[in-house]
């Protein structure tokens, strides 16, 4: 383990926030027993994680699954989180987990295509703007000097979550080994009902049209902003996870040169994956 600064440490070539995960926990995941009914949500930070958590939990609850906990972060906890993990091995099924990890850290059992994984991406320009704001309100992260400075660190991969490009590449290259559904933040903004229906099908949850509509309703930006069980408001001393919830806020921050640089990096680093990004 290498300590990078007061906020970040590196382990196995991946950067974590100090206080969030630990090398011992990351190592212990290699012997974490998977159940066929396990569901994992994997994302690079600020890609719509808490939004997708709300969708998955609402679908499962509509289908009759019961969770003993009040809040989404307890119902669908972080796989790598240091706190409150004692009951992970004994939770009733289906167990729902959230993670920002790369595939190499995942419990090996997921390779047998036993568990289900949903991987959500967001276009990197909006993701970095969201992360820039989040770094200003989250105690665990260093307050950025400026957007320009933050973008530089982000593109170098010197932030919690390491390189956005690596995360996307690594998850997309395990698509044939894992039972995985790829979705994007922009898909969900464009047509939330279709995204909810895709997730229902993937999870094997047969909801009525009316129940799908209810899940959509519970997962709108407006409703989540007012729902303390879903919006993590209580985990922040100031600010809000629910900031703007839009595509194209990057246009308010990027210079033309910065935008072109990201376009070039996309081509160089993950151009071969043929992913399509929605920018507005």
Among 17, 43, 123, 258, binds ligand A3P (CB under 6 A): 43
CB nearer to ligand A3P: pick between 50 and 168: 50
Among 49, 71, 163, 184, binds ligand A3P (CB under 6 A): 49
Find the binding residues for ligand A3P in span 133-152 (CB under 6 A).
Answer: 133
CB nearer to ligand A3P: pick between 243 and 269: 243
Q: Which residue's CB atom is positioned nearest to ligand A3P? A: 245
Could you tell me the smallest distance in angstroms from the CB atom of residue 9 to ligand A3P? 20
Would you count residue 51 as binding ligand A3P (CB under 6 A)? yes
| 66: nearest Cα among 87, 94, 36, 38 | 94
Known catalytic residue at 100: yes
Local structure of 118: helix, strand or coil: strand
CB nearer to ligand A3P: pick between 198 and 243: 243
**Stretch near ligand A3P under the rule CB under 6 A, chosen from 1-9, 24-32, 47-55, 103-111:** 47-55
Q: Which letter, b or e, does each residue of 122-152 get, where b requires 16 or more Cβ atoms within 10 Å of its Cβ?
A: bbbbbbbbbbbbbbeebeebbebeebeebbe
Among 17, 58, 123, 130, binds ligand A3P (CB under 6 A): 130
- Interface mask (CB under 6 A) for ligand A3P, residues 70-109, using x and -? ----------------------------------------
CB-side exposure of 207: number of CA atoms within 13 Å? 28
DSSP code string of 173-200: TTTTTSEEEEEEHHHHHH-HHHHHHHHH
CA dist 89 to 64, 98, 111, Å?
A: 22, 15, 19
Could you tell me the smallest distance in angstroms from the CB atom of residue 176 to ligand A3P? 26
Q: Which among 81, 100, 167, 172 is annotated as catalytic?
A: 100
Could you tell me the smallest distance in angstroms from the CB atom of residue 119 to ligand A3P? 12
Local structure of 96: helix, strand or coil: strand
CA dist 219 to 56, 71, 141, 249, Å?
A: 10, 14, 27, 21
Three-state DSSP string of 194-254: HHHHHHHHHHCCCCCHHHHHHHHHHCCHHHHHCCCCCCCHHHCCCCCCCCCCCCCHHHHCC
Find the binding residues for ligand A3P in span 204-263 (CB under 6 A).
Answer: 219-221, 224, 241-245, 249
Could you tell me the smallest distance in angstroms from the CB atom of residue 250 to ligand A3P? 9
Q: Which positions are catalytic?
A: 100
User: What is the binding site for ligand A3P (CB under 6 A)?
Assistant: 43, 45-51, 126, 130, 133, 219-221, 224, 241-245, 249
């Amino acid at each position: 383990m290498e300590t990078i600064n007061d906020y970040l440490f590196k382990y196995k070539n991946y950067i974590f926030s100090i206080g969030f995960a630990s090398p011992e926990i990351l190592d212990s995941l290699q012997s974490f027993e998977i159940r066929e009914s396990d569901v994992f949500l994997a994302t690079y930070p600020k890609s719509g994680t808490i939004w997708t958590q709300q969708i998955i939990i609402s679908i499962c609850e509509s289908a009759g699954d019961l969770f003993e906990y009040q809040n989404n972060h307890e119902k669908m906890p972080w796989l790598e989180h240091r706190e409150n993990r004692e009951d992970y091995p004994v939770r009733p099924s289906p167990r729902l987990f959230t993670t920002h990890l790369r595939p190499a850290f995942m419990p090996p059992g997921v390779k047998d295509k036993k568990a289900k994984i949903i991987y959500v991406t967001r276009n990197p320009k909006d993701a970095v703007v969201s992360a820039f704001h989040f770094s200003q309100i989250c105690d665990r992260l260093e307050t950025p000097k400026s957007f320009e400075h933050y973008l530089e660190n982000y593109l170098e991969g010197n932030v919690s979550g390491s390189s956005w490009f690596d995360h996307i590449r690594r998850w997309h290259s395990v698509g044939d080994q894992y039972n995985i559904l790829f979705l994007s933040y922009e898909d969900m903004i464009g047509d939330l009902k279709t995204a909810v229906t895709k997730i229902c099908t993937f999870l094997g949850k047969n909801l009525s049209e009316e129940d799908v509509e209810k899940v959509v309703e519970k997962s709108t930006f407006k409703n989540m902003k007012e729902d303390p069980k879903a919006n993590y408001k209580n985990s922040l001393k100031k600010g809000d996870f629910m900031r703007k919830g839009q595509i194209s806020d990057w246009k308010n921050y990027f210079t033309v040169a910065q935008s072109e640089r990201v376009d070039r990096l996309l081509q160089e680093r993950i151009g071969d994956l043929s992913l399509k990004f929605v920018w507005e």
